[in-house]
Amino acid sequence: MRILAFGDSITLGMWDYEAGGWVNRIGRALGVTSRKNPEDDSTTIYNLGVSGNSSREILERFENEVKYRLREEQEIVIIIATGINDSWYINKEKTTNVSENDFRNNLQKLIDLAKKSSTKIFLWELIPLMSLELILSPGARNYLIKTS
């Protein structure tokens, strides 16, 4: 099994000096370590968190990241954690980093892309920007675990 965790600096594990973030904590709980080698056939968790990424940047790199780690013989679990960097308020422009409409569209596109590679997709809403019921199509809700 390959677990792909997408997100920002929180996913990356910055400032968690004890365990290296929630991705490493999941790995330890499952008895696996985070690896960078896509040729490794064991259960692997890939920390694909990038500091500063919003849903826009995750969407831009999503397909390539999945394609690079995809192995037909292995199940893939996809976790998408986003929201913090999308909601930055930019005083000069009097808007957020990513508009609410673009955030909704980006999440839907990420879920649609993820469904091409996996039936096990988890969306971690880092902050309650809006109700996920308003964002996701009915079919996507079957692949969702919401935490708040």
- Residue 146 in this model has a pLDDT that exceeds 70: no
pLDDT digits (tens, 9 = 90+) for 93-120: 788 888 888 998 999 999 999 999 998 9
2-143 domain in CATH 3.40.50.1110? yes
86 pLDDT band (50/70/90 cuts)?
Answer: confident
Mean pLDDT of the chain: 81
CA distance 22 to 32: 13
> What does pTM read for this prediction?
0.79
If one counts every other C-beta atom within 10 angstroms of the C-beta of residue 125, the result is 20
- Residues ≥6 apart with Cβ < 8 Å to 131: none
* Structure confidence by residue, pLDDT tens digits, 10-28: 999 998 888 889 999 888 8
More confident position, 25 or 59: 59
Mean pLDDT of 116-126: 86
